[in-house]
């Protein structure tokens, strides 16, 4: 039986990091250097959480999950927990969520659009994790 990981738990983060490191080599991430925080509003426990990613020269470097203030990212994307859960499950495209204002972006919009395909690759890897939401 496959273990399900509770979404945004330390165990889910560890599994996500393992998969991102093995499935997204630098060339697949176009050797990009950037960082992004997803800010989750209305989490099931009533809290606000963040999920922070950092890539350096295309190499996955860091992933943090927490409450409160996220490390300062190049991009911050804010939305409801359920919207991010749908994206992670592969039920909603992140670009569509931004365009329909289900998510809000802070950062350089032109660069964000250039990096959208890389974000999609990252979300496709996360969607493969057996997750309990």
> Residue 120: is its pLDDT beyond 90?
no
What is the distance between the alpha carbons of residues 54 and 118, in angstroms, rounded to a whole number? 12
Number of domains forming the structure of the chain: 1
Please list the residues that pair with 79 across neighbouring strands.
40, 103
Distance of CA 130 to the CA centre of its chain: 16
> Residue 83: is its pLDDT beyond 70?
yes
Question: Whole-model pTM?
Answer: 0.89
Look up the CATH number of the domain holding residue 22: 3.30.1050.10
> Residue 27: is its pLDDT beyond 90?
yes
Please list the residues that pair with 19 across neighbouring strands.
none
Q: Percentage of residues in the chain with pLDDT exceeding 90?
A: 77
Q: Which helix (H) or strand (E) holds 59?
A: strand 59-67
C-alpha dihedral (116, 112, 64, 126), degrees to nearest 10: -10
Residue carrying structure tokens 């890539």: 55
Range of the domain at 112: 5-132
Q: For residue 43, count other CB atoms closer than 10 A to its CB.
A: 17
């Amino acid at each position: 039986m496959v273990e399900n990981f509770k979404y945004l738990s330390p165990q889910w983060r560890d599994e996500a990091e393992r998969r991102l490191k093995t499935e997204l080599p630098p060339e697949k991430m176009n050797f990009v250097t950037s960082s992004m925080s997803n800010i989750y509003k209305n989490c099931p426990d009533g809290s606000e959480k963040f999920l922070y990613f950092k890539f350096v020269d295309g190499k996955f470097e860091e992933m943090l999950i927490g409450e409160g203030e996220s490390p300062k990212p190049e991009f911050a994307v804010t939305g409801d927990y359920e919207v991010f859960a749908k994206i992670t499950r592969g039920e909603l495209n992140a670009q569509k969520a931004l365009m329909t204002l289900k998510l809000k972006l802070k950062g350089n919009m032109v660069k964000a659009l250039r990096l959208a395909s890389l974000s999609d690759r990252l979300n496709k890897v996360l969607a493969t994790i057996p997750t309990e939401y």
